[in-house]
């Protein structure tokens, strides 16, 4: 590898009002390397990458690309210089196809005849094949899994000629198998001389895939090293400022109680018309965490939506706390005691343009403590919101500031504060630590454990197998919309679970007890 710096950021300062997000940050990445940028949520790493990609303008500081000073004032300027960014929250038009999203905004001096899109699709498929990225170019985005949508974003960046590619939490939505495939793609980019910068929190993947690693904390760049000269423990300590053990397994202390949730032969069709859940049966007891492991797109999303009233079932039976749930109703699910932390907190969990108070009120505004005769109790609601903010250690500039301005970790803590305040009997948590740093993820895990130890139940749906193994009392494996395997915590075997996840092995007559 040569020592040409494809990017050299010097003394970057970014202020939002009185808040200093980046404090004299120096960051350099070499041509043809994979460089990991680590840091807690709110450490400033996404901000400095947004400056590099033209989303933000720095308050002060300079950027050099291949040794020449660059004036990046917009994403368009950045793309002209070969800099592209794939955001954690994808920027795709849901109703357009993958190919239409990729060519969106492209200029053409010729009339776009009927063969134009076909030629573009062939170009897109050639790029996708070249880098090992499989995408269904003719399907609308809303019909694609999260992993497929991410591949569309990466292909879009490559299609537009990026030589320096920034990936914001690229594996937070992927299964271990999908993550492995992504790293194969990144290595192909590397061999072609492209520079890859990825912000992430998954230390194992950082150590396995990166050439160099940088760490930010509290807006400052505090560490840069070749990957071979550091380790996971040191990186975790640098990120959070204290010793942590990423491998620590959370202990089980509460006995399992009575059966709370029973699902029998559930049938559900997905938005694209195909069957997403097929004859699925499972049970959840009081005082236990049941983990659902599986590759993306095997019915996890639809299962969570059916249980929380967001989607109607097409067959089967769901019984919660002794009562059958016949119709899809979010309010009925809330009143029954079912809480929900969705897969995408900013799409279906929180309203980004509203403040903390409004977001906390979403599920309780009808209660007499929160309103009277349809009029909200402003003073008491503000005091109540502040108490939850303090209890769950949510950091926000102001209770009325848009929650979109919070870091991902604080958004997730706010979401948990709202759901747990409802005193749920069952928490349906979908990818609850997606995009969170080590410290924030540990805090979320503790909240789930506290729910379980209080005698409540948790259905943990996660594509992070390490998380499932760490937290679950029982693990159910979903494949093609059915439960194909069940293992207890003490007998959990990664290889066995992997066989179930890929459909290579299936238990006979699986039924969770």
106 part of a folded domain: yes
In a domain, 248, yes or no: no
Q: Does one domain contain both 74 and 161?
A: yes
The structure's pTM equals 0.61
In a shared domain, residues 287 and 180:
no
The per-residue pLDDT for 241 is 67
Is residue 162 in some structural domain? yes
Burial 5-39 (b: 16+ CB within 10 A, else e): bbbbbeebbbeeeeebbbbebebbbbbbbbbbbbb
Q: What is the DSSP letter of 132?
A: T
232 and 311 together in one domain: no
Which tens digits make up the pLDDT trace of 329-387? 999 999 999 999 998 888 888 998 999 999 999 989 989 999 998 899 999 999 999 99
How many other C-beta atoms lie within 10 A of the C-beta of residue 125? 16
3-state secondary structure 418-455: HHHHCCCCEEEEECCCCCCCHHHHHHHHHHHHHHHHCC
Domains: count for the chain: 2
CA gap 402, 346 in Å, rounded: 12
Distant-in-sequence, close-in-space partners of 375: CB < 8 Å, separation ≥ 6: none
Same domain as 143, residue 51 = yes
Structural domain contains residue 373: no
Domain-terminating residue out of 184, 210, 240: 240
pLDDT tens for each residue of 328-345: 899 999 999 999 999 888
Question: Hunting for tokens 């190919």 — which residue is that?
Answer: 99
Mean pLDDT throughout 245-274?
A: 74
* Cβ count within 10 A of residue 61: 17
Do both 270 and 332 map to the same domain?
yes
**Domain identity same for 177 and 281:** no
Q: 241 or 191: which carries more pLDDT confidence?
A: 191
Our CA dihedral for 399, 401, 407, 411, rounded to 10 degrees, sits at: 50
Shared domain check, 203 and 99? yes
Domain span at residue 287?
A: 259-337+424-501
Would you place residue 463 in the very low, low, confident or very high pLDDT band (cuts 50, 70, 90)? confident
* Domain match, 188 and 286 both: no
CATH number, domain with residue 456: 3.40.50.300
Show which of 187, 210, 240 is a domain's final residue.
240
Contacts of 374 (CB under 8 A, 6+ apart): none
Question: Which of 209, 240, 271 is where one domain is finished?
Answer: 240
389 located within any domain? no
| Pairwise CA distance, residues 289 & 282, whole Å | 13
Whether 45 and 121 share a structural domain:
yes
Q: Does the pLDDT at position 96 exceed 70?
A: yes
Same domain as 277, residue 129: no
């Amino acid at each position: 590898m040569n020592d040409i710096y494809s990017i050299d950021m010097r003394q970057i300062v970014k202020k939002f009002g009185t808040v200093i997000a980046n404090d004299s940050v120096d960051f350099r990445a070499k041509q043809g390397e994979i460089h990991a940028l680590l840091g807690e949520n709110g450490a400033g790493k996404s901000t400095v990458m947004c400056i590099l990609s033209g989303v933000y303008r720095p308050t002060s500081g300079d950027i050099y690309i291949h040794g020449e000073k660059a004036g990046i004032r917009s994403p368009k300027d950045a793309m002209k210089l070969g800099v592209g960014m794939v955001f954690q929250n994808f920027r795709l038009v849901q109703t357009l196809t993958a190919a239409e999203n990729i060519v969106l905004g492209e200029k053409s001096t010729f009339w776009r005849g009927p063969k134009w899109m076909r030629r573009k699709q062939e170009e897109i498929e050639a790029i996708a094949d070249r880098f090992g990225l499989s995408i269904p170019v003719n399907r609308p985005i809303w019909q694609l899994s999260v992993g497929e949508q991410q591949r569309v974003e990466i292909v879009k960046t490559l299609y537009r000629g990026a030589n320096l590619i920034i990936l914001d939490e690229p594996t937070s939505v992927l299964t271990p198998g999908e993550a492995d495939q992504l790293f194969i793609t990144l290595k192909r980019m590397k061999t072609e001389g492209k520079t890859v910068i990825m912000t992430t929190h998954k230390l194992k993947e950082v150590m396995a895939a990166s050439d160099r690693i940088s760490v930010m904390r509290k807006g400052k760049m505090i560490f840069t090293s070749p990957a071979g000269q550091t380790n996971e423990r040191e990186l975790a300590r640098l990120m959070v400022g204290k010793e942590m053990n990423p491998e620590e397994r959370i202990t089980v202390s509460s006995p399992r109680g009575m059966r709370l949730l029973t699902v029998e032969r559930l049938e559900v069709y997905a938005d694209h018309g195909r069957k997403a859940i097929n004859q699925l049966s499972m049970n959840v007891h009081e005082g236990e965490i049941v983990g659902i492991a599986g590759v993306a797109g095997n019915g996890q999303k639809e299962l969570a939506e059916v249980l929380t009233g967001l989607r109607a079932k097409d067959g089967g039976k769901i019984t919660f706390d002794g009562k059958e749930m016949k119709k899809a109703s979010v309010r009925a699910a809330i009143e029954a005691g079912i809480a929900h932390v969705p897969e995408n907190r900013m799409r279906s969990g929180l309203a980004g343009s509203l403040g903390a108070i409004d977001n906390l009120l979403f599920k309780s505004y009808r209660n007499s403590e929160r309103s009277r005769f349809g009029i909200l109790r402003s003073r008491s609601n503000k005091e109540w919101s502040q108490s939850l903010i303090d209890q769950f250690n949510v950091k926000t500039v102001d209770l009325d500031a848009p929650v979109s301005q919070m870091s991902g970790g604080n958004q997730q803590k706010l979401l948990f504060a709202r759901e747990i305040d409802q005193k749920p009997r069952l928490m349906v948590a979908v990818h609850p630590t997606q995009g969170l740093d080590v410290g924030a993820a540990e805090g979320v895990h503790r909240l789930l454990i506290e729910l379980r130890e209080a005698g409540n139940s948790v259905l943990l749906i996660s594509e992070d197998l390490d998380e499932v193994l760490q937290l679950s009392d029982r693990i159910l494996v979903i494949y093609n919309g059915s439960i194909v395997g069940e293992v207890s915590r003490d007998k959990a075997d990664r290889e066995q679970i992997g066989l179930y996840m890929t459909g290579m092995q299936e238990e006979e007559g699986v039924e969770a007890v």
